[in-house]
Amino acid sequence: MHKRPGIVSDQRFFDHAIPQHSLENPARLRRLYTRLAAEPYLGRVQCFRPREASAEDIEAVHSSFYQEQLREHVNVQDPFSYDRDTYLMEQSLYTAALAAGGCLELADRIVAGEIDYGFALVRPPGHHAEPGRGMGFCLYNNVAITAQYLRRVYGMQRILILDFDVHHGNGTQAVFNETDQVLFCSIHQEKLFPFTGKPQEVGIGKGYGYTLNLPVHQQFGDAEYLFLLNRVLGNVVEQYLPQIILVSAGYDGHEDDSISRTLLSTHWFFVVTELLKFFAHEVCDDRVLFILEGGYNPVSLEASVLATVDSLLTPCGKRPGVAYSQRAAKILAHHPVHQFWTL
């Protein structure tokens, strides 16, 4: 039986804001919240309020030294004193703890079987935040905190994180670089901030082979992205058998988002959600949790997030058909993924 998907939203996420211009601002969520509170979504999603992530939750990823650094910069007059694009105001750390805690709230509901799918519509985003450093609008790494929580509280040993934000999830990779209990896969535009995520970055120690980076060329769009994720994840999921799929869901690869030069359509986000639902149905009892990352054109962000929600509202169906892409296949021809996983 298909359960209503769960959404985390809260107007307290608007409190992390500055008077100066920033692409990462409350307007990213305002229209989305309004749309989800009206037809055709009213009553079709379960809405949950976030809780504040505990010190233990956050310290499973971020050092106490880093957190103390952030607290010191909150009291500095310049909101960009810590990082040139990652601002800190009085409410910022509380808002960031709420964002992480909202993800944990949905993780609990998914494990309890109350919902199959969840979407944490939170901010600030998190996937650039490393254990001891914030950057790229990110303070606490929401998806990493969630994965560590699932390991610590529920004893999960096989967690798949897919990051389809147009930027590489350097922070998430850094957290799980040395473990085989979290498989991290990032598809992102090459030669773009933070200039990491090369194919040769595959993890170390026990994590060797459990980091998969798929940097793509500018102008890649729906066909190339879908071919790569279908080919790589379709095989890796069957071999790794994740107990849950976490998604760093960034929408800044959209063709109308000026921060990148990739050409994803709004419909692509519906189709990739269908694909992930199929994988989750096959191996992990439909457990999928989306966590909002980037997306800086409010119009395309709204449309693309709603495309994801539209997919989550429907029961899992057949695996989407995927056309062959010669341009994308060239990326895999000499990719190190073949050393670790059968494609």
Return the active site residues.
128
Shortest CA distance to 240 belongs to which of 207, 268, 217? Answer: 207
Return the residue matching tokens 């209503």: 4
Kindly state the tokens that stand for 57.
């939750």
Cα dihedral across residues 79, 81, 82, 86: positive or negative: positive
- What is the rounded (10 degree) CA torsion for 113, 114, 117, 120? -120
State the SS3 of 68-90.
HHHHHHHCCCCCCCCCCCCCCCC
Residues 316, 160: Cα–Cα separation, whole Å: 19
| Angstrom distance (rounded) from CA 335 to CA 338 | 6
CA distance 343 to 332: 9
